[in-house]
Structure 1
Amino acid sequence: MANSYAQAVLRTTDLAEVLRAAGRLLELADTTELEVDFEARVSTPGELERLSGVMPEAEWFSYGTDRHGFSKDGGVPSECLPVLLRRWCMAPETVEEFVAVAGDVPAMVRWDFNGWPEAPEVGLGSGGCRGAYVTVCMNARDLDICFVEEPAPDHTLYVHVKQIEAERAPWLAAQVGLRIIGELEMAPL
């Protein structure tokens, strides 16, 4: 598992607004190869049923003090709640359905693409795929939603960059009318 570095650039209770801002950032990126990863913290059988429908063959693991199950062990997620569901490499067209069924659960959408554009104003050439992500955390303020104990009342947009190119994050935010609102932090992928 690799890590990237991310900075929050928007926090709002308006999910449509945060998704539009994510779209503006993606317009800057080289998205000739674009895929999406999903994660959701699932606590009830109803949430599990809804999210499993849009995350076929999702990896899952139980979390918390009573952690007792993992998809690779052949367990049944409904018997191990709460669980974290993960599904990687989904088509971008699946985002709308995922967002619709996620409802108020802590969830994450991460767009993975080829790279960021040149940022000549801050002395950076085109960025490669390492560190090139945009993440929306729904009902969560933490990039690692496994640690979210209670759903947040808002949603947070993060831009990911290489650690050595940290100055790219505020530059990207400014290109779409946003600004950095948090510290650069390591983001597990």
Structure 2
Amino acid sequence: MSNSYAQPILRTTDLSEGLRIVERLLEIADTSELDVDFEALVSSAQYLPALVEMLPDAEWWAEGDGGSWGRVDDPAAHRLVRLRSWANPPEVVESFLKAVGDSPATVRWDFTGWPEAPEVGLGEGGSRGAFVTLCVHARDLDLEEPAADHSVFVHVKEIEAERAPWLASQVGLRVIGDLVMAPY
């Protein structure tokens, strides 16, 4: 399995604007198969219980205090917890965003493929590289750069890098940063 490459197309302090752009991108994508992946970096005990309850099968580990993995002990006992959950139904996005509070987090929509982009010489894109990620309170996909704003990234195959600016233009935007290898 290879990684996708992602490029930011929007930064905004308005979370609803970020979600609207994601919706517009999903409208042009083949979403016959659609699910979402979540990741959060939680440092507040205030948010952790709701996230653990909402995502009972999520993987989690402590960061910066010994790196406990999985469910060997109580995640609330750690200062900083990274939580990941894959293949969730899209209907839980809003609940996740409420539960995560002001913690840095990502929501990644995984779907069947991108449409044909004849203006840049590309046919339909398959599922590898067919993602949109909303970074909440973070500027990067790894959640290493906390921010007061939110970013939307489009993912593409590296050999189809020209699809990212094309996708941005389909929703009235342009790329605003470099194409980077996406995690997982």
TM-score, reference length from structure 2? 0.96
Give the equivalent residue in structure 2 for 1:78. Answer: 76
Deviations 1:87-127 (A, max 9, x none): 10000000011112222110110000000000000000000
Which consecutive residues of structure 1, in runs of 5 or more, have no partner in the other structure? none
Equivalent positions of 1:91-130 (< 5 A) are 91-130=89-128
Matched, 1:168 2:163: yes
1:41 and 1:82 in contact (8 A); partners too: yes
Equivalent positions of 1:20-39 (< 5 A) are 20-39=20-39
Q: CA deviation at 1:15?
A: 0.3
Over the matched positions of the two proteins, sequence identity in percent amounts to 60
Matched, 1:159 2:158: no
- Counterpart Cα distance in 2 of 1:95 and 1:133: 15
Which consecutive residues of structure 2, in runs of 5 or more, have no partner in the other structure? none
Moved more, 3-12 or 46-55: 46-55
Equivalent position amino acid for 2:178 in 1: E
Secondary structure of residue in 2 paired with 1:53:
helix
Secondary structure of residue in 2 paired with 1:44:
coil
What is the aligned length? 184
Moved more, 115-124 or 76-85: 76-85
Give the equivalent residue in structure 2 for 1:67. Answer: 66
- Counterpart Cα distance in 1 of 2:75 and 2:2: 26
- Counterpart Cα distance in 2 of 1:102 and 1:112: 20
Q: After TM superposition, which residue ranges in structure 1, 4 or more long, deviate above 4 angstroms? A: none
Secondary structure of residue in 2 paired with 1:33:
strand
Give the equivalent residue in structure 2 for 1:6. Answer: 6
- Counterpart Cα distance in 1 of 2:119 and 2:2: 28
Equivalent positions of 1:50-65 (< 5 A) are 50-64=50-64
Give the equivalent residue in structure 1 for 2:46. Answer: 46
TM-score, reference length from structure 1? 0.93
